Amino acid sequence: MWRTANNLVLAASTLAALSALVALYAPQFLSPPSLPNSNSGDLLLSAQPINLTAAFGPESLAFDPTGAGPYTGVADGRILKWDPLSLSWIDFAATSPSRKECTRPFAPELEHVCGRPLGLRFEQKSGDLYVADAYFGLHVVGPEGGLASKVVAEAEGQPLYFTNDLDIDEDEDIIYFTDSSTWFRRRQFMHSILSGDKTGRFMKYNKSTKQVTVLLRDLAFANGVALSRDRSFVLIAETRTCRILRYWIKGENAGKVETFADLPGYPDNIRRNSRGEFWVAVHGKKTPFADWLLRNIWAAKALLKVPLRFDQLHLLFMGKHHAIALKLSPEGEVVQVLEDSEGQNVRYISEVEERDGKLFVGSVMMPSIWVYNLD
């Protein structure tokens, strides 16, 4: 009883302190900062939406070896495919056989039952689609779709708890992938960010030997994964620290990790284009308030005790609705920034896939994807 009372007092005190901060310093304390090298004119306002019907949260986008797609995983556990003939989304695959209850577009409390496909990658030589399911681990489904099969569900005897993204080295038959946390599930991602959780892992799976190897551990929300064009290194998004890590897999630096880029916000998926550049989806820019919270974990943990709905907590942390995508050079320099600074059209980008002069943009928190013309 005393612990409950103390928690209530702490929550009330934190809420009062936060209210005072908001009153004194909003909007400059809560609003996302402007970026000096951002392309003028909020170019993502011109991106064309492709709405999902009775579906939500297209996290990742992929095209099969024939060029068909995009394919995307959504919040109810399905993987959908865009059909250009009917101009509609059709069911392609699922990661869970237990779909009786999976009838609502967005039901976080059922994600552990229905599955939650996040990162998607096609193996070009086989046409198989590999899926990072947040709850069920790495799965694969053949070119005809259907129920995906389990590939990896644990590493070093520890279950995958929040499988997030992957990339495939087809020459070496290696799949590189991330597990964002061993403490928190996907539906608790804000708790992982705000609690100071550093249990994320970066791993590889050898398809020939069926062996899983943990390459990096103690990561602060391990997220997007992308191989370099020459396959000499892999990039890993460490979301909480707002940085991209480079893990060398070849050469004299093999096995070493370094910071590839420090970013103005929280990176999600990373996708390489045909020129060897990297598109980084940034979930949101880091506000002064969020930066203060993450440097004062006691305050962040206290905020988690305040009875806020998820959308309230998320918006407080993000400052306001917005969207941002960054293109990095092969050396890690920011060479292009695309924004919708008010979130009027695009919000909370989770992936950017460049293809045929267009960007295909996903969002884990919206019911649509967008297509932006680069020409």
**Could you tell me if 117 and 56 are in contact, meaning their C-beta atoms sit under 8 angstroms apart?**
no
The predicted-structure confidence for 288-334, as pLDDT tens digits, reads as follows 999 999 999 999 999 999 999 999 999 999 989 999 999 999 999 99
At 10 the pLDDT is 53
Instruction: Report the relative pairing of strands 323-328 and 334-340 from DSSP bridges.
Output: antiparallel
What band does 3 get if pLDDT is binned at 50, 70 and 90? low
Mean pLDDT of 119-138: 98
The predicted-structure confidence for 158-203, as pLDDT tens digits, reads as follows 999 999 999 999 999 999 999 999 999 999 999 999 999 999 999 9
355 pLDDT above the threshold of 90:
yes
Across 14-23, 149-158, 229-238, 245-254, least confident range = 14-23
273 pLDDT above the threshold of 70:
yes
Q: If we measure between CA atoms, which residue out of 1, 12, 54 comes closest to residue 306?
A: 12
Instruction: Give Cβ neighbours of residue 112 (< 8 Å, ≥ 6 apart).
Output: 135, 185
Q: What percent of the chain has pLDDT over 70?
A: 90
At 23 the pLDDT is 47
At 375 the pLDDT is 85
Q: For residue 28, which phi and psi values (nearest 5 degrees)?
A: -65, -25
In the chain, domain spans: 1-30, 32-373
The CATH number of domain 32-373 is 2.120.10.30? yes
Strands laid side by side in the 88-94 sheet: 61-62, 71-73, 78-83, 88-94, 146-147
Helix axes 310-318, 288-295, angle to 10 degrees: 100
Q: What mean pLDDT value characterizes the chain?
A: 92
The predicted-structure confidence for 107-117, as pLDDT tens digits, reads as follows 999 999 999 99
13 pLDDT above the threshold of 80:
no
Q: Sign of the CA dihedral 124, 127, 128, 129? A: positive
At 20 the pLDDT is 52
Here the tokens at position 143 are 């070119």
Say how far apart CA 289 and CA 104 lie, in whole Å.
34
Mean pLDDT of 250-271: 97
40 pLDDT above the threshold of 70:
no
The predicted-structure confidence for 42-96, as pLDDT tens digits, reads as follows 999 999 999 999 999 999 999 999 999 999 999 999 999 999 999 999 999 999 9
Across 20-29, 73-82, 245-254, 323-332, least confident range = 20-29
Here the tokens at position 260 are 């590839």
Say how far apart CA 241 and CA 252 lie, in whole Å.
27
Q: Sign of the CA dihedral 188, 190, 194, 200? A: positive
Mean pLDDT of 210-214: 97
Across 14-18, 109-113, 200-204, 265-269, least confident range = 14-18
At 89 the pLDDT is 98
**Could you tell me if 285 and 302 are in contact, meaning their C-beta atoms sit under 8 angstroms apart?**
no
What band does 16 get if pLDDT is binned at 50, 70 and 90? low
At 32 the pLDDT is 73
At 285 the pLDDT is 94
350 pLDDT above the threshold of 70:
yes
At 188 the pLDDT is 94
What band does 272 get if pLDDT is binned at 50, 70 and 90? very high
At 69 the pLDDT is 97
